[in-house]
Amino acid sequence: MDGVRLHQPVPERVALLFPVPWAVWAALRLAGAERGFPLVPALTFTPYAAATGVLPLGTALLARSPAATALAAGATAALAVPVLARARRQPTPAEGRRLRLVSLNTLHTRVDAAALVDLVAGCDADVLTLMEVTRDGRDRLVAAGLPGLLPTEHTLLPADPAQLGAGGSVWTRLPVVARSRVPGHFEQPQLLLALPGGPDVEVTAVHVHPPLRFAAGVRAWEEDLAGLPAPGGDVVRVLAGDFNAAADHAAFRRLVRRGWVDAGRAAGQGLRATWAPVRFPQPRLTLDHVLVDPRVGVAELRVVQLPGSDHRALVADLRIPA
């Protein structure tokens, strides 16, 4: 109608400002520039940032602003592309001797011991790596029958019993060549296993300090990630456990670039959440990983929820080269 002025439903200035947080997040993620607290823990939520990128994009489209649309679309794509890539299976060696591994952060061994033993039995596991093992919790696992399935145990408990989350253990039915530990803020037991029909395999129960409690927590997290061993040599290595890190963290990507293969990504399961609060459905984060030597094949990786723990168990079906 003449004399009636049509207004944009969203002012262009608002449309231009709205995508800025997503654009900053994408820039930090692409450059690996997150430093300190709270940026490092915030990057864990990158999949949520990617999913909500439709909000500034929709606002820009409503405002009919080419500049805002370009900014929002670019930021959303920069966040979504690396996240969605984790669902694409990556080829790994298909031949080799089977090694089935189960890994779980037990939440101070509050996990249902019988359910964990049933999982080990049901998947015919060769090795079990556990984090946050307590003395009482270890005794409950023994009472539930774990030694009958995996008779050899390498458990490291902290000297201070008040450090409930610091213990770790590796259980196996394979012959043990050597026992050791990887230094860190938590106990990280390591076993060198003799694999019939294959090379020796070194398995480490990884538990990295969480990047919380401000700057000191982030420094401890970075130190623990940097202190993990690299693959290579005559020994085939496997790191399995709670890295307290996501694929969106630059420090974790640096670790992987040392030569590791993330079994979750190789199996096309890189988007499967491995942690969520016990009493709430959200947030759901991917903090647990199985990293393998590039010579190792990944036939399958499953994420299994067990009662009692806030973490999910990882069941990795691996192929060790002859």
The CATH code of the domain at 97-320 is 3.60.10.10
- 288-292: strand order across its sheet: 176-181, 189-193, 201-207, 236-242, 288-292, 261-262
Residue 205's contacts (CB-CB under 8 Å, 6 or more residues apart) are: 103, 129, 130, 131, 168, 169, 170, 188, 189, 190, 240, 241
Q: How far apart are CA 161 and CA 135, in angstroms?
A: 9
The segments of the chain whose pLDDT lies below 70 read 1-8
The whole-number pLDDT of residue 5 equals: 47
The whole-number pLDDT of residue 163 equals: 87
Q: How far apart are CA 49 and CA 25, in angstroms?
A: 8
Let me know: does 206 contact 188? Beta carbons within 8 Å: yes
Q: What are the structural domain ranges in the chain?
A: 12-87, 97-320
Q: How far apart are CA 261 and CA 187, in angstroms?
A: 23
Closest to 112 in 3D by CA, of 90, 73, 140, 89: 140
The whole-number pLDDT of residue 233 equals: 85
Provide the 10 A C-beta neighbour count for residue 81: 12
Q: Write the DSSP string, 209-245.
A: PPS-SHHHHHHHHHHHHHTSPPP-SSSEEEEEEE-S-
pTM, two decimal places: 0.94
Q: Exposed, middle or buried by CB within 10 Å (0-12, 13-18, 19+), for 273?
A: middle
The whole-number pLDDT of residue 8 equals: 54
Q: How far apart are CA 265 and CA 205, in angstroms?
A: 19
